[in-house]
Structure 1
Amino acid sequence: MVSDMDLKTCLQRYAIDLPFVRGDDAATTQRIVCRRGYILSYNSATHSPDWVMERLSAAELRGPAKRKDNFKEDPLLGTVDADDTDYVPRLYDRGHQAPAADAAFDQNVNDQSFFFSNMSPQVGIGFNRGIWRVLEDTVRGWVLCGGHDELYVITGPIYENPKGVIGHDKVVVPGSFYKIVYDPKAVRVVGFVLPNVKIGSRFDNPQQYVKSIADIETDTGIDFFKSWPLRQQQLLETGPGTAWGRAEKCDGAAGAD
């Protein structure tokens, strides 16, 4: 496990279970990276994070930080990380898993979202620059004007039906992506799975992409909320869940990837 700040301080920020990647080779392929803006598990075999977890509050979603598009290798991973040449030609977007717009409060934290350890290949028009961006904006809206003071957000790829590999590092292109949103105060959780294809730019029916946490665990090979009592896991993970609503107008909720 590595961090660009005091590791104990970094880990204390993420006060719920870290996702647990199952599999015999997990110990050799996983690298945990902890930062102020996110904590992730980087997979050296796929050259993408298996999961990225954020802890969002309204104070972090508003601020002066600007997106600079300064994509670069993660200095905490060195040559293990993917790099910009893997994404040339631009067949797929360099898709943020922890969005830059989630770190508006601090320029350095915003800049750190552009490390390739936080990227996974995503279809551009109609997905990363379409419905996925709208989902990210929707989650920010839940915090800013939807009555959810604090949310944990876990995002990552699903490698069922992969689309091949790109670049000299052979970065695996996921078949779909998941996002899990947990409200620790209300003890509510909802999960989404969206196929990595051109869908469009509207999110009129979020419920069609809702998927149970148990199903996402099956699809990813990852255990979420592992230390929850079994009864609580059954109640919150096995049901399909319901997409939450928010006010139509929400100042500050919009933001780029």
Structure 2
Amino acid sequence: MSPRRSFLLRRGRPLRRFAISLLFVAVGTGLWHFQARELRDSLVWMGVPVWQQVSPTSFHRVLSNDGFLVGWSDVRVNPLWVSYRLQAVEDPRSGPRPGFRRDWRALWPIDPESYFGSGYDRGHLAPNYAIAAVHGSRAQRDTFLMSNMSPQRPELNRRLWQRLEEAVMDHFVPRFGAVQVITGPVFPARFLDNVFNRVGLVEVPEAFYKIIVVPAERPLALAFLMPQGVRGDEPLDDFLVSIDEIEARTGLDFFPNLPMPAAEVLEGRVSARGWGLEEVAHRPGRFE
């Protein structure tokens, strides 16, 4: 073999190794992207929420957790929306209550102790019990990440909000077999009006919404909007609103892939027909 050919062969080996490595990286990245997209699609219905108009306060990142997605805002230091699916299980139960944990994906350090002495609870958006019952113990641990928390008054968090979470898991899920839930905070229309109303770094919302959808050929939806200043013993149906109202208050489009004619029907009306809401509207919470 000539010296020139030997040199070319030696030089070609690293190039082949690099090409093979590049191929593995490309294939691995493609598989990861496909799996991430598949996971995201399994936790939302008709697309991830998007903004109707882009502004500095609309910037957020989607954090993927076991059993739920979080639309996280580093500006408001809050989840702007949380999306998850629940389905009927034979023996719904949750494990021991985990401890709250800091989420290192958040830009700002929000520790479990950040709320102490503030007068606000660390309010779960993806609920501990329902996520644990449907998605398991690992998902339950993720619900205790501080990126799943938002400041809630005790009367809201421990009473009215808890009653609504209980109605979703113990009443709506068995009734329909499966539901899609999107939930999150509502802030004042002008960012500057609330910019200093914070628990540590976390902006305090003025209200919270929860949208429950039965995915079907003719989907059903219920939407609730609950302000911070509730007593806690009010009937759940006092807080029924349209999805359009929540979109107007938040600036979000919750189901961007839903065809316009279907969206106008689903999002524009307020109707509890078929939900059996009257059976649970006045029911006290599990801990009352």
TM-score band, normalised by the shorter chain? 0.7 to 0.9
1:174 to 167, 183, 205: 205
Aligned partners of 2:115 and 2:220: how far apart in 1? 37
Aligned partners of 1:98 and 1:173: how far apart in 2? 18
**Corresponding residue number in structure 2 for 1:142:** 171
Letter in 1 for 2:127: P
**Corresponding residue number in structure 2 for 1:8:** 37
Q: RCO higher in 1 or 2 (8 Å CA, sep ≥ 6)?
A: 1
**Corresponding residue number in structure 2 for 1:234:** 264
Measure how far apart 1:61 and its partner are.
7.6
Measure how far apart 1:248 and its partner are.
5.7
Residue 211 of structure 2: SS of its match in structure 1? strand
CA pair 209-168 structure 1, distance change in 2 beyond 3 A: closer
Letter in 2 for 1:173: V
User: Is 1:197 aligned to residue 229 of structure 2?
Assistant: yes
Aligned partners of 1:60 and 1:109: how far apart in 2? 18
User: Structure 1: which 4+ aligned runs deviate by more than 4 Å?
Assistant: 161-164, 246-249
Letter in 1 for 2:166: D
Measure how far apart 1:78 and its partner are.
4.4
Aligned partners of 2:286 and 2:97: how far apart in 1? 10
1:149-206 deviation line (CA, Å, top 9, x unaligned): 110000000002759533442x111110000000002510110001112422x35x32
Aligned partners of 1:66 and 1:12: how far apart in 2? 29
Q: Which runs of 5+ in 2 are unaligned?
A: 1-31
**Corresponding residue number in structure 2 for 1:130:** 159
Q: Greater CA radius of gyration, 1 or 2?
A: 2
Residue 228 of structure 1: SS of its match in structure 2? coil
**Corresponding residue number in structure 1 for 2:17:** none
Residue 269 of structure 2: SS of its match in structure 1? coil
The structure in which a higher percent of residues are helix is: 2
Measure how far apart 1:15 and its partner are.
4.8
CA pair 28-158 structure 1, distance change in 2 beyond 3 A: closer
**Corresponding residue number in structure 2 for 1:94:** 122
Aligned partners of 1:193 and 1:61: how far apart in 2? 30
Aligned partners of 1:178 and 1:28: how far apart in 2? 17
1:30-78 deviation line (CA, Å, top 9, x unaligned): 010112211010011111100000100122981352222x111113x14
TM-score, normalising length from structure 2? Answer: 0.75
**Corresponding residue number in structure 2 for 1:160:** 188
CA RMSD of aligned residues (A): 2.8
Aligned partners of 1:42 and 1:237: how far apart in 2? 24
Q: Percent identity?
A: 28
Q: Which moved more, 1:175-184 or 1:223-232?
A: 223-232
1:12-39 deviation line (CA, Å, top 9, x unaligned): 3125211113443469730101122110
CA pair 15-220 structure 1, distance change in 2 beyond 3 A: closer
Measure how far apart 1:88 and its partner are.
2.3
1:164–1:173 CA contact under 8 A, matched in 2: no
Corresponding pairs, count:
242
Aligned partners of 1:138 and 1:65: how far apart in 2? 20
CA pair 207-255 structure 1, distance change in 2 beyond 3 A: closer
TM-score, normalising length from structure 1? Answer: 0.83
**Corresponding residue number in structure 2 for 1:62:** 92
Measure how far apart 1:89 and its partner are.
1.5
